[in-house]
Structure 1
Amino acid sequence: MAKHTIGAALWSLAMDDTVASLGKLAELGYKAVQFTFRQPTDTGPEGMDRIREALKRTGLAVPAGCIIFPGEDYSSIQAIRKTGGFIDPNDFPERLRMCREWSRAMADLGIGHVTIHAGFIPPAGDADHGDFMDRLATAVDAIYEEGLTVGMETGQESGEELLKALDELDRDYLSVNFDPANFVLYGSDDPLKAAKALGSRTSMAHMKDGTRSDRPGVTWGADVPLGTGQVPVEKVIRTLEAGGFTGALVVEREAGNDRAGDLGRARTFLENLVAKMGE
């Protein structure tokens, strides 16, 4: 199997201080982080200096950054369908500005790849599809102009639907950030089926777990600690690898009252799993 970098998503700790979050992940034994800015002031000169020093002090590698938009409402599937990513044209100017600002700052930190949540992609043939795809293309191009490649998060659409969107956009600097749990949480697809469809287009994978709702696509499933849910983690990794995937495996935890503990246990679980897979 490929030798994957194992990291954690910075926001998983649910801490507001970017520098403290970096220190905590290093304390938990992680060697890599998917980075994001936790405060608006982080992209200013003083904030950037603090972050550079923290990255140097911790020695954390940064396989990717993530742009997280204020105002995205994950209280329900219906709410995020209306507020996520680039779906609302009224939000687009500010989110495009943020894409440029954060990408420029991340490039200045030496980060070369960033992931985004595009939002629910209207189906081809839908009246809103063309305008949405134009906004998405504009945002992706703006990020690339700052020197970063882009990964689109999976989950809202089936793997095949996302593949069609990638083909329509037709940009060699655009790939997939594969999150198997999102297919379970949204009720949008089977993670293994999606991995087979998207393995050749995947640049990074979130290691997250979940259980399905009894009303898939209507109410959320449950985000649970890695290795305890309905995501067949080993099979997902092997299926992605069969498509050529060699990227980082990034633990993400977005629920629970013991985020640090869950991240520590997830690192052990994933390191043991990868070691077993390599035997």
Structure 2
Amino acid sequence: MEIGVFIHIHEDTDIMQEFQKIRNMGLRSCQVSIWDTRLYTDENAEAIREAQAGTGVNVSALWAGWSGPQVWDFYEGPLTLGLVPGAYRHARLKELLAASDFAEKLQVSDVVTHAGFLPENPNDPDYTGVISALRYLAGYMKEKGQYFLFESGQETPTTLVRAIGDVGTGNLGINFDTANVILYGKANPADAAGVFGRYVRNMHCKDGEFPVDGRNLGREVPLGQGRANLPQVLQILVNAGYRGPLTIEREISGEQQIRDIEWARDYLTEILKNLEPRS
């Protein structure tokens, strides 16, 4: 398992410089996040490929954002996020198709996003609508040899695994964010790891605390200081056969973000040394 980091690319990002920062931290893997679909250009694809070649840092997945309103809480979140809200579903589906095309230019097989607050009730019209949209997207991606990965957290693990089965195209997986299942109050990460198992193709190694009220998400904290219990989670995933990237995400900025990423790198390195071989 290779330790990597999650990076954002904006219009003014010096892509080579961002990749060099990763390399300077002793890492060789990253996920690239792009929210502005206008950045899915041939020029940016070439710049990312050149940065990979120049630094030896591999892109393990494209994290694809989408347009429209985004409210990250428990009241407006279900109305604004991902493919669940019918008002934004068609436009965002088109944007995810464009992300698939861009990932193909990068020669990256995995595209990740939040699908939204998937309803627990599989008979809910919003659930069936999302499944239909995802089936179309996954079919489009399958022809390119790509996988669509659900970013975990906004739904229970059971609902997420059900959605993968209901889409049924065989090229869906999970980007397991070990903090999101906490921040959204949906699961204990170790329990989630047991449910997700073979579907995990990438990870956000992140930590946090559970919500303390019914409106706002829980609080993200540096890795190892919250409820994620990465030693237990990674052992469960290793036992399930996971050998993919361990992508560090820290949702702050500035020098403290760099220090927390370096701490997370060292913390994960120690965990990997102590993992038991798959039984």
Aligned residue for 1:175, secondary structure, equals: strand
* 1:17 matches 2:13: yes
Q: How many residues align?
A: 274
Percent of residue pairs bearing the same amino acid type: 27
Contact residue 204 and residue 248 of structure 2 kept, 8 A: yes
- Picking from 111, 117, 142, the partner of 2:108 is 111
> 5 Å matches for 1:11-50?
11=8, 17=13, 19=15, 20-37=17-34, 40-50=37-47
* 1:132 matches 2:130: yes
> 1:211 maps to which residue?
209
The worse-fitting range, judged by mean Cα deviation, of 86-95 and 51-60 is 86-95
Contact residue 202 and residue 244 of structure 2 kept, 8 A: yes
Contact residue 211 and residue 222 of structure 1 kept, 8 A: yes
* 1:248 matches 2:260: no
Aligned residue for 2:27, secondary structure, equals: coil
Deviations 1:25-82 (A, max 9, x none): 2222211011233654532233222222212111111222211123352442323221
Paired amino acid for 1:188? K
Aligned residue for 1:236, secondary structure, equals: helix
Paired amino acid for 1:214? V
Paired amino acid for 1:203? R
> 2:260 maps to which residue?
262
TM-score, normalised by the number of residues in structure 1: 0.89
Unaligned runs of 5+ residues in structure 1 are none
- Picking from 140, 143, 153, the partner of 1:142 is 140
Paired amino acid for 2:163? A
* 1:236 matches 2:233: yes
> How far apart are the structure 2 equivalents of 1:15 and 1:30?
24
TM-score, normalised by the number of residues in structure 2: 0.89
- The structure-2 alpha-carbon separation of the partners of 1:140 and 1:197, relative to structure 1 and needing over 3 Å to count, comes to same
Aligned residue for 1:10, secondary structure, equals: strand
Superposed displacement of residue 224, structure 1: 0.9
Contact residue 78 and residue 85 of structure 2 kept, 8 A: no
Unaligned runs of 5+ residues in structure 2 are none
> How far apart are the structure 1 equivalents of 2:163 and 2:174?
11
Superposed displacement of residue 90, structure 1: 2.6
Deviations 1:8-33 (A, max 9, x none): 1113x999516032222222221101
* 1:223 matches 2:220: yes
Superposed displacement of residue 136, structure 1: 2.3
Superposed displacement of residue 230, structure 1: 1.1
Deviations 1:148-178 (A, max 9, x none): 1121111112212211221212221111111
> How far apart are the structure 2 equivalents of 1:261 and 1:22?
17
> How far apart are the structure 1 equivalents of 2:25 and 2:257?
11
Higher relative contact order (CA 8 A, sep 6+): 1
- The structure-2 alpha-carbon separation of the partners of 1:50 and 1:128, relative to structure 1 and needing over 3 Å to count, comes to closer
> 1:182 maps to which residue?
180
Deviations 1:183-238 (A, max 9, x none): 110001111111111112211121000011222x5321001111111111110111
* 1:71 matches 2:68: yes
> How far apart are the structure 2 equivalents of 1:58 and 1:159?
36
Paired amino acid for 1:76? D
